[in-house]
Chains A and B, each alone.
Chain A
Amino acid sequence: MSQADVTIGSHSALMEKPAFSVPAKKMAMWLFIIADSATFAGCLVAYGFIRNATPDWPRPFHSITNVALMTFILLTSSLTMLIGVQSAEKGDKAGAFRWTMITAVLGILFAVLHIREWMGMIGEGATLFHNPWGTPLFSSLFFSITGLHLLHVTSGVIALIVVGLRYMGGRYKADDLEITGLYWHFVDLVWMFVVPLIYLLNLAH
């Protein structure tokens, strides 16, 4: 125990309680989530404006199989993350590590399916600045919003692997795993809005 720990320990009654009774690093993650949700909300509102204000908006999606599978994988990864965090809280290090890695694998699987879908669309001629089905704004918005989400998934997978390994090595605690889990659930939560607005509203009938 360091001198600082002794000093803080003996004066704990004098120290201010954390906001909302949440530890500082967890509060920092919540503030990041709130700020990031505003970013996604801004993107989706902009999408809504442009979609409504553009005549003959394309509806290029013919099948929901891929997006349904991606949704199932991402939702399931939230459940495996919960199991991982609960295992960590019970002190089951091996279990927590195993479930965290399963979550990361599901995240990788999601990203692979996402890229495969992108490649299919690019193969049909859709790029960030070109859309074979009409207004190029559709492709710009599709690749921007899903790309932003994919970036979050990719960074989440990296965070899960790094935090999982460090937790297993004893450098991180169950709390750190829980905070990474918060971020992962947020990525899942954003997808719940991206799917209906970007994919399902643009389904060909």
Chain B
Amino acid sequence: MAGPEAKTNGMGKDLIVYLCILALAGIQFFIAYQDISASQMFVRMLIVASIEAALALLFFMHLWENRGLKWFVLIFTVAVILGMQYGWTDSYRILDGVPWAK
């Protein structure tokens, strides 16, 4: 394909990205065994998962090579992650309001 759809051939870059994602997945498993609170664990794991997802989107799904689509997906993804973060934080407010809250 030509123009914006053109892709860089060669597996070297893809292999490096694959190994990076594997390493990041390993970090998530490492975080799971840390003696920290669930909220701290959640934040750390969500950050690592977001980096993994960004790598997969940019290189495996070739968003890196399509500037217009990249921004379209990026803005949507950020909105979803912010929404998730808002939802998670707001659940603490609900938790504080329930009868068993300390």
Contacts and interface: CB of A to CB of B under 8 A. Distances in A.
A201 B38 contact: yes
Contact of A189 (B7, B25, B53, B66): B53
B69 to A, nearest CB: 4
Contacts of B15: 79
Interface in A51-108: 51-53, 55, 64, 68, 71-72, 75-76, 78-79, 82-83, 86, 89-90
A51 B1 CA distance: 47
Given A34-B76, A192-B25, A196-B28, A75 B18 contact: yes
A91 to B, nearest CB: 12
B32 to A, nearest CB: 4
Given A193-B53, A196-B46, A68 B29 contact: yes
A72 B22 CA distance: 7
Given A41-B84, A196-B48, A53 B28 contact: no
B73 A48 contact: no
Interface residues on A, range: 35 or more
Contact of A45 (B45, B56, B88): B88
Contacts of B33: 203, 205
B66 A20 contact: yes
Report, as a range, how many residues of chain B touch the other chain.
35 or more
Contacts of A197: 42, 45-46
Given A30-B73, A45-B83, A189 B29 contact: no
B45 A53 contact: no
A189 B29 CA distance: 16
B49 A196 contact: yes
B24 to A, nearest CB: 8
B68 A21 contact: yes
A169 B29 CA distance: 43
B65 to A, nearest CB: 10
A21 B87 contact: no
A185 B60 contact: yes
B6 to A, nearest CB: 10
B40 to A, nearest CB: 11
Given A72-B22, A189-B53, A192-B52, A79 B14 contact: yes
Contacts of A79: 14-15, 18
A38 B87 CA distance: 14
Contacts of B48: 196
The 3 tightest CB contacts between A and B, nearest first, are A196-B45, A200-B32, A20-B68
